[in-house]
Amino acid sequence: MWSELRALRDEIDYGTPPRDGAPVTLTIDGVAVTVPAGSSVMLAAAEARRAVPKLCATDMLEAFGSCRVCLVEIEGRRGYPASCTTPVEPGMAVRTRSDRLQALRAGVMELYLSDFPAADIPGGWSELHEVIQATGVAQHPYGRGENHLDAPVDESNPYFLFDPAKCIVCSRCVRACEEVQGTFALTIEGRGFASKVAASQGQPFLDSECVSCGACVQACPTQSLVEKSLFVGGYRRADSP
């Protein structure tokens, strides 16, 4: 099913895993597309080459619906559902682009960027930076309020590091640890603004139940979890002296 769906286009992340249901035909921005029943609107949009922005979604994990940048409009429905958690239906007419959707996504991105190191926005290569380009939002209108920008970097693991200043608490690393590796070494600790990714009982990664499989690093969309080998001479944030 994977090879059939991807059609040898391995560079595409469909956002949610493939399904094996009966064929369902719908339209995405006027483009007809047929996908298996049980597939998400996000997957159908990617198949129709009308991919929607996403942060918490990846096709290696089940849908979660937390980031709210993948909102779409569906004819005959009220509101703006998340495309990753909305299953396709026969005859469904989906719109992925409109002024209203752009405004909603821009507002969400501004909130994320209000607690993200500003100096690390230019020149980045993460999925977050791809969404920045897709939405055209690279800054925010908010002042410097309470934030996580001074949170210490965990460099205890010999292979990767965790920079909480770049974490948007999308839970992709936690879900990868559970769904891909089955280690359950990561969790989201706290609630609201205080919520954060924690290894085991708030331990450094090296001292936790982490087995250094790299699933969390592969899943992270923001460079918060990143391989140390990418940084010759050691890691530092762009605004570090």
Q: How far apart are CA 160 and CA 216, in angstroms?
A: 10
Cα 48–Cα 100–Cα 96 angle in degrees, nearest 5: 5
50-108 confidence digits (pLDDT tens): 999 999 999 999 999 999 999 999 999 999 999 999 999 999 999 999 999 999 999 99
Distance CA(44)–CA(22), nearest Å, equals 14
Q: What tens digit of pLDDT does each residue of 120-169 get?
A: 999 888 999 999 999 999 999 998 889 999 999 999 999 999 999 999 99
Taking the C-alpha atoms of residue 171 and residue 225, their distance in angstroms, rounded to an integer, is 12
Predicted TM-score (pTM) above 0.85 = yes
Mean pLDDT over each residue of the chain, to the nearest integer: 93
Can you tell me which residue has the tokens 């009966």? 22
CATH of 160-230 among 3.40.630.10, 3.30.70.141, 3.30.70.20, 1.20.1070.10: 3.30.70.20
Given the candidates 3.30.379.10, 3.30.200.190, 3.30.750.80, 3.10.20.740, the CATH classification of the domain at 1-142 is 3.10.20.740
Antiparallel, parallel or unpaired: β 23-28 and 93-95: parallel
- The Cβ-side half-sphere exposure at 182, using a 13 Å CA radius, reads 0
